[in-house]
Chains A and B, each alone.
Chain A
Amino acid sequence: MSGLLNWILWTPVVGILAILCIPSKNKNAIRYAALATTAVTFVFTLLLYINFDTSVAGMQPDFLVKVPWIGDFNIFYSLGVDGISMPMTILTGLLFFLCILSSWTVDKSVKAYFALLLMLESTVFGVFFALDFFLFYVYWEVMLLPMFFLIGIWGGENREYAAVKFFLYTFFGSIIMLIGIIALYYSVDGVDAFNILAHQGGKYIGKTVSIFGTEWAFNKIFFWAMFLGFAIKVPVFPFHTWLPHAHVQAPTAVSVILAGVLLKMGTYGFLRIAFPIFPQAAVDYSTIIAVLGVISVLYGAFCAMAQNDVKKLVAYSSVSHMGFVMMGMAAMTTQGMNGAVLQMFNHGTSTAMMFLMIGVIYERSHHRWIVRPDGTKGYGGLAKHMPTYTVIFIIGMFASLGLPGLSGFISEALIFLGIYERFTTITVIAVMGLLIGAAYLLWMYKRMFFGEPSEEVLSYSDMNIREIAYMLPLCAAVIIFGIYPSPILDIMRASVGKLVELMAQFQ
């Protein structure tokens, strides 16, 4: 079992090699190969879940991998999984599997498409597993490449702009982060210089650093360096503008991955790196984080409401939902942190559902207008004509709206419970986000699904077996974890608890 992380990480790479060997004419074989790869990977993640020891607060000792990589720099190929990365791992495994299914209809350069998707999967796992800063950074950056091409080649009208923007934005954040990483490297001597875990625990209080001729607290300045890198990925309010473009232009599967997994990498980075390494700064600036979070919540919601493009609407809703995660993390309480991690998972499933559903309808209509620019309805009457679609859409929509009984609610409630004690005013403002959240989703739903179906809508067929098949696991996840979230909460509990204890020392 100890090599399980390696298996998860490298199975997609094997899949890529396999796909590259298949002649590109044989499209179905490529698809099945990709599907099999992701399925196997998913099974591995489930195995990991089964063998996960929930009582261990830190890294799971059974699964640690540590192999010297660059000896001179003390860089290790070191992997590990704990309660914070475990939910993300399952989510990644699941979503990629479903995305391959949903990409069955992709017909343009199939080989490259699936190879890139698998590459993306591997890198995403890498980010979640890496315990070495260098490795982490490498995966973090490499992930940009497949994304760039996936958006840029298979995307919508304005795909190139979106791809470039995504790339640059993220690159900007991460290169600043890199400086922080290197600064940390020089703060510790010996083999642990790049070891993420070795830096944790607030070791850098009182240290100063000279930049632009001024002395700064090491603690704070590099917290912000990390913050920038991660906040762009999340994305938090002032850094969010790449997201609507990227989402709207990306093909369905990539949108799903982007919203479902990639955004979580930002918050994961906070939990794994920024917070434990600079706890003092994190505590000091938690107000700012919370304020940015709440601005994201409201701003995202408000902007979503004004959108006529349904995908853009959901994209902005992601901004809003990730704002909740930021708030939960800023709370630094047991509930809040757990809620944040749970929200990461739940947002992953619910928003993936939304994007997949939009993808389903887009395949039929080839547009995404709720209201076309000329003022006519883009859809309408879908509820009457496509009942199955409607039901699944409702589940996804209400999950993302935060309806109790579906997954979104619990995490939001935990976040609110966590943050209320620390930031009452912010909480009061943030709950309004729930209101607006309901408003834009319901309004969108009404405009798309209610009313009499038009001629065009009547020509759409309802969801087919394949589409239902990839929606069902998400529906199940959304409902099951909505009613009984403990399977997820149990695995994260100890790890998050440890983090909370650490943060509590600095409050």
Chain B
Amino acid sequence: MFINILFFSASALVIASCALMMWTKNLMHSCVYLLGVLIGVAGLYLTLGADFVAATQIMVYVGGVVILMLFAVMLTGGKDFQSKTQQLLNLLPSMGNKYTFMWGGGVGLVFAGCLTYFFMHLFKVIKVQEIDNNSYSPTIEKLGELLVTDHLVAFELSSVLLLGALVGAAIIARPRKERPAYIDDIEHDHHHDEEHH
């Protein structure tokens, strides 16, 4: 029962936040609603007994990504834009207003319809198991084992990815204007610092 309540409340949070994320004009609010979505999803994970995943979701997403987003929003001003071009074909994707939402909604509905229609057939294949709602075992141990056995390569190589992403983000985010050489030097140092993190 608790699971059901948790599910419904979490999914209500997810759906409501999604809707608000779509509708809001303010990007900052949007980020906050994203937070809602992510927490909701974490709740859904919990209903599925994925405790570790839920925790990671909260930590990485809520703690990292959303904050990153908020920084980005603040750095870039954070207002939504109106379409600039108003003619003919360019009208089509010039969203952020009713036209854009019409398009977005239309495409979304079509895609959703398509996927729903086709994935109905999914249940010809899937055999849904009986779930014992009351017995949740912790997954962390098993996950840990899997990570160093079956998914060792993925685990190791994701580190390469993260390293690359880190270096890459640093490379990209360097200021653009021509500056004296010493500032470049300082930057270099700075970005090496980042690497060591």
Any A–B CB pair closer than 8 Å: no
Q: Which residues of B contact A (CB under 8 A)?
A: none
The interface of chain A, by Cβ under 8 A from chain B, is none
